[in-house]
Structure 1
Amino acid sequence: MDPIIIILFVLLAVFLLLSVPIGIAIGLSVLFAILFDDKLTPQFLVQRMFSSLDLFPLMAVPFFILAGSIMMRGSMARRLLDLSRSLVGHVTGGMAQISVLTSMFYGALSGSSPATVAAVGGVMIPSMEKEGYSKPFATAVNTAAGCLGVMIPPSIPLIIYGAATGTSVGDLFIAGIIPGLLVGVALMIVSYLISRKRGYRGTGKRSTFKEFLVALNNAKYSLLVPIIVLGGIYGGITTPTEAAVIAVVYSLIIEAFVHRDLGWSQLFDSLRQTTVTSASIFLVVATATVLAQTLTFYNVPNQIVTMLTGITESTILMLLIINVFLLIMGTFMDALANILILGPLLLPVVQAYGVDPVHFGILMIVNLSLGFLTPPVGVNLYVGCGISNISIERLSVAIIPFLLACIVTLLMITYLPQISLWLPGLK
């Protein structure tokens, strides 16, 4: 391997250990590595950062973030919570089941894992404590369920993967539905088993059919969001970016004029949050794309393909190796950076083994979403700790059963590609 690449990764490791923000760490690593060599110039860094953002699919990112923020500050998210309570509140561990089901609903609105934890966990964690659930368990359930925000479409990481690898974002969105639901069911099963063992009861009584209809009617506009977005994309009516704009306009109209739960102050807060979040995401996109192109310039992708294909001819073993590698990378590097850097590098490897790019995209997003649940970079852990005021150590222990359930589900998604490819009609 070229010495410049070694210098680059050493610098990146040092910056990450110093807790430098991931986008800045990647940019500085590439810049300093370039200065050690005369093959590339700093102008290369600037030009590539600029051109990396000149992609139409990336425009969907701030619009989906804004739509989710508007719904969180209005009442659409709360109405979904009430619907979840009417459906599963009566079963063993009812409050935990409500948390997971609401996160599944909200994941179809926000496209963000930390946002899902903040929106659902901010309400459910204190409520679960009042009902007698232990604080670590309540926090672990909501923290783990937050990862559904990036699995169930619309998903920001799926948009980034599609843009980085040239894969259809529409196909990725449709392909993510069943895997996301499968992970959600796995989390609900774990919640049930733990709740049964610890004696956590339901909310009291089963909702009547009339109460369910009332909750369904109140949440009808919220439930229409994924139908409008996915229906428009897969029906060939809109692109993902256009669907994102429609989601913003729709949520704004519903919250401001139908529910009347969104004022000017909430709207300005949503715009401010969207600006800050989008800026941090696009900084990672720009610098990680430069890093990926620098690696390509030094022929690293071909070296990786040659090395990995030389290890084994078995598709099963190769996918296992890649899964372990991604799980390790997810523990200390941001999911978006991993997608942008490793997606273009690993896709040629798996394609040599006959793996579909859409299937690999879902596999990669589900895998890297677990990085939100593992220290030291696990963003969901820090959001959960901020809500419940417990230590990261206690939460990391409490979340282990949910993490294991996600890994089992990941293996199912990996070795049963029909789970991902059935709805898009690719297999």
Structure 2
Amino acid sequence: MTSASPAGAPLVAPDPGPVPMLRRRVDQGVEFACVALLLGAVGVACLQVVMRYVFRAALPWPEEVATWLFTWAVMLGMALATGRGAHIAIDLVPRLLPGRARRGLEFVTLAVMVAASLVLVIHGMDYVDRAIAASPALQMPMKYLFLAVPVGAALNLFFLAWPDGRRGFLQGLGTLALGGLIYWSVRHGAGFLYSPASGPWVLVGVGLGAILLGVPVAFSLILGTFTAFASANPILLVTLAQNMGASLNSFTLLAIPFFILAAAVMNVGGITPRLIELAMMLVGHLRGGLAQANVVTNTMLAGVSGSSTADASTVAKLLVPEMARRGYDRPFAAALTAAGSTLANLIPPSLGLIIYAALASVSVGALFVATLVPGLLMAAALMMVVYVISRARGYGGDMPKASGRDRLRGLVMAIPALILPVLIVGGVRFGVFTATEAGAVAMIYALFCGAFLYRKLTGRALVAAVREAMMDTVVIVVIIAAAAPFAWVLAYERVPQRIAAGLAVLVERPWLLMLAINAFLLIVGLFMEMIAALVILVPILVPLVVLAGFDPITFGLVIVMNLVIGALTPPLGVLIFTTARAGGADQVATFRAVLPFLAAMLVVLMLVAFVPALTQVPLRWLGQ
């Protein structure tokens, strides 16, 4: 997985004229609007918490306002990510092609993005014209919420067609022309090629095929849904924009940008160095001490971040060079950092679990409680592997043991960061605030820590952190929005029920079903990014496992663990690529070095899948 543009090499020489300046101005304006909208959503969510607990007078409209601001931020941000080439895409096939063939595929990829954008503009405006409902709290016409979809798509077309210094006017016009031809051909030719009954096969074939060819995941899902419906009743085409807008009108999804913002602010506010310092004081003197400190740091940082990729990059830059300087093999250090960064999705606040909760309609608080033991068990397993390898290779043992006074000082300095996961889990569990409000509170808390406790947060660093967090949010959430109509088609065609009927024999043998699903998910993780896999597979697999008698909370942990393990395996191996690049390690050697850690993680995965007490006992203890 990459977050790179589908356009890898420039098609024309950079243009220094006034046209890129206009593009840059539009980019800056859209970015300002997106940041303002997201910060407005944070402020409104915090206002609701204050009104509820300080003034004892909850307001009826904050959740609605926050979700509307969020929807517009994501749809405008979709266009911003298009202009910057930041959408999540699988570039395995483009990387294998020679230069001219790759540039040809890149041109087709951009045209497919144009076609998907045309779908949202044309049929999005159709739905806006038809929408007559009003919002419950504000009594605002809902058409203004759904208007965000065609507006964002129209901005997509601007960024895809307008010269950007790499592509001139002719390339932009060619992209528009080919994209329009793709749209027209599918819209008016689908009925001659296949019947509406073939919709599910067309949906999956076109969607996954486009993903594998390097089309950004969100646009692949939109095109797949459009192609599936093109041969059916034309009125069904308006459901694309309807489902995308409705999926974003969710207060639960707001937890994603809030926690990403909180983690970004804490990283630039001096939290991460404090956690590393504490980890080294606690375990740095042990055999393999700096490697053990790496795992401990990732464990503590997981309670702040929720993003494995962010943790992998941050810790690799800080610890891999230091480990290499102290005699650790650099690929080993990078592999350990990659394996440790998976904890960010196994310890609250986990973005993977938040996304699963939204897709499966289960409690975020229950997931956060259920993952406490498996997350710590995974950390312990990694530390055991570190100990065995360090004993065999003679790593560590060269750092003096920190005094009790130094450890106490390090603990005191790190307490503000360590309080955050307790605040999140405890606040959600005891009903002080929802998971989404917890994210908003975490954002405000991060600002307080960085500005007043650690005094490392500057205005420039804050602005940079918020801008980066906004883009991270958009590229994640736009996939969830695009997957909503994709999942709706699957449900409309009763695909989960058909799969359940086909696997009836395995449903009668739950242990065999769970084993087969784990094997399937591990294979999926080899080729598909976690978020894309979640939004496609959760609507299919959750009804199946519930029918077999499995708890959907436990299954949430199982599917997220499988997919984060996939981030350590080739050919994608995004966490390996991240840590190897940031730490200056050879990628192939790093893939080899991660194998012992993968073995330990698979053992923990099997324990979580087949020993329900690991997740159910904490739920009973805390009354979930």
**TM class, shorter-length:** over 0.9
How far apart, CA to CA, are the structure 2 residues paired with 1:351 and 1:406? Answer: 25
Residue 21 of structure 1 aligns with which residue?
216
Deviation at 1:32, TM superposition (A): 2.5
How far apart, CA to CA, are the structure 2 residues paired with 1:231 and 1:184? Answer: 21
Q: Paired residue for 2:360, among 148, 165, 183?
A: 165
What CA deviation, in whole Å up to 9, does each residue of 1:84-115 have, x standing for no partner?
11111111111111111100100010000001
How far apart, CA to CA, are the structure 2 residues paired with 1:358 and 1:214? Answer: 38
Note if contact 2:331-2:586 (Cα within 8 Å) is conserved in structure 1. no
Residue 186 of structure 1 aligns with which residue?
381
Deviation at 1:424, TM superposition (A): 1.5
Deviation at 1:203, TM superposition (A): 4.2
Residue 289 of structure 1 aligns with which residue?
484
Residue 348 of structure 2 aligns with which residue?
153
* SS at structure 2 position matched to 1:20: coil
- Residue 502 of structure 2 corresponds to residue 307 of structure 1: yes
Note if contact 2:565-2:601 (Cα within 8 Å) is conserved in structure 1. yes
Residue 62 of structure 1 aligns with which residue?
257
How far apart, CA to CA, are the structure 2 residues paired with 1:311 and 1:355? Answer: 13
Residue 414 of structure 2 aligns with which residue?
219
- Residue 457 of structure 2 corresponds to residue 238 of structure 1: no
What CA deviation, in whole Å up to 9, does each residue of 1:385-421 have, x standing for no partner?
2212334322221111111111111000011111111
Deviation at 1:220, TM superposition (A): 1.1
How far apart, CA to CA, are the structure 1 residues paired with 2:431 and 2:509? Answer: 37
What CA deviation, in whole Å up to 9, does each residue of 1:343-402 have, x standing for no partner?
121112111222111111111111111122122332212211221233432222111111
Residue 450 of structure 2 aligns with which residue?
255
Deviation at 1:312, TM superposition (A): 5.4
Where does 1:2-401 land on structure 2 (aligned, <5 Å)? 2-38=197-233, 41-311=236-506, 313-401=508-596
* SS at structure 2 position matched to 1:376: coil
Looking at both structures, which has the greater relative contact order when contacts are Cα pairs under 8 Å and sequence separation is at least 6? 1
Q: Normalised by the size of structure 1, how large is the TM-score?
A: 0.96
How far apart, CA to CA, are the structure 2 residues paired with 1:20 and 1:82? Answer: 42
Instruction: Using the TM superposition, name which of 29-38 and 239-248 deviates more.
Output: 29-38
Note if contact 1:22-1:334 (Cα within 8 Å) is conserved in structure 2. no
How far apart, CA to CA, are the structure 2 residues paired with 1:63 and 1:156? Answer: 10
C-alpha change, 1:3 and 1:203, in structure 2 (3 Å) is farther
* Structure 2: gaps of 5 or more residues: 1-195
How far apart, CA to CA, are the structure 2 residues paired with 1:128 and 1:201? Answer: 9
What CA deviation, in whole Å up to 9, does each residue of 1:173-198 have, x standing for no partner?
11111111111111111111111111
C-alpha change, 1:31 and 1:204, in structure 2 (3 Å) is same
C-alpha change, 1:63 and 1:203, in structure 2 (3 Å) is farther
Note if contact 1:95-1:203 (Cα within 8 Å) is conserved in structure 2. no
How far apart, CA to CA, are the structure 1 residues paired with 2:592 and 2:222? Answer: 34
How far apart, CA to CA, are the structure 2 residues paired with 1:119 and 1:420? Answer: 29
Note if contact 2:334-2:583 (Cα within 8 Å) is conserved in structure 1. yes
* SS at structure 2 position matched to 1:373: coil
What CA deviation, in whole Å up to 9, does each residue of 1:144-190 have, x standing for no partner?
11100111001111111111111010000111111111111111111
Note if contact 1:229-1:243 (Cα within 8 Å) is conserved in structure 2. yes
Deviation at 1:265, TM superposition (A): 1.0
Q: Paired residue for 1:414, among 591, 609, 614?
A: 609
Q: Normalised by the size of structure 2, how large is the TM-score?
A: 0.67
How far apart, CA to CA, are the structure 1 residues paired with 2:516 and 2:397? Answer: 41
How far apart, CA to CA, are the structure 2 residues paired with 1:2 and 1:199? Answer: 63
C-alpha change, 1:133 and 1:267, in structure 2 (3 Å) is same
Residue 14 of structure 2 aligns with which residue?
none
Residue 597 of structure 2 aligns with which residue?
402
User: Aligned partner of 1:412: which letter?
Assistant: L
C-alpha change, 1:115 and 1:5, in structure 2 (3 Å) is same
Aligned-CA RMSD value: 1.6
How far apart, CA to CA, are the structure 2 residues paired with 1:272 and 1:361? Answer: 30
Deviation at 1:42, TM superposition (A): 2.8
C-alpha change, 1:302 and 1:39, in structure 2 (3 Å) is farther
Deviation at 1:39, TM superposition (A): 6.7
Deviation at 1:293, TM superposition (A): 1.1
How far apart, CA to CA, are the structure 2 residues paired with 1:39 and 1:292? Answer: 19
Note if contact 1:289-1:341 (Cα within 8 Å) is conserved in structure 2. no
How far apart, CA to CA, are the structure 1 residues paired with 2:425 and 2:481? Answer: 27
Deviation at 1:35, TM superposition (A): 2.2
* SS at structure 2 position matched to 1:201: coil
How far apart, CA to CA, are the structure 1 residues paired with 2:338 and 2:466? Answer: 25
Note if contact 1:88-1:97 (Cα within 8 Å) is conserved in structure 2. yes
How far apart, CA to CA, are the structure 2 residues paired with 1:248 and 1:311? Answer: 45
* Structure 1: gaps of 5 or more residues: none
User: Aligned partner of 1:340: which letter?
Assistant: V
* SS at structure 1 position matched to 2:567: helix
* SS at structure 2 position matched to 1:78: helix
What CA deviation, in whole Å up to 9, does each residue of 1:196-249 have, x standing for no partner?
111112342221211110110111111111111111111111110111111110
User: Aligned partner of 2:245: which letter?
Assistant: F
Aligned-pair identity (%) = 36
How far apart, CA to CA, are the structure 2 residues paired with 1:92 and 1:24? Answer: 49
How far apart, CA to CA, are the structure 1 residues paired with 2:608 and 2:348? Answer: 16
How far apart, CA to CA, are the structure 1 residues paired with 2:507 and 2:494? Answer: 22
How far apart, CA to CA, are the structure 2 residues paired with 1:210 and 1:344? Answer: 52
How far apart, CA to CA, are the structure 1 residues paired with 2:218 and 2:207? Answer: 11
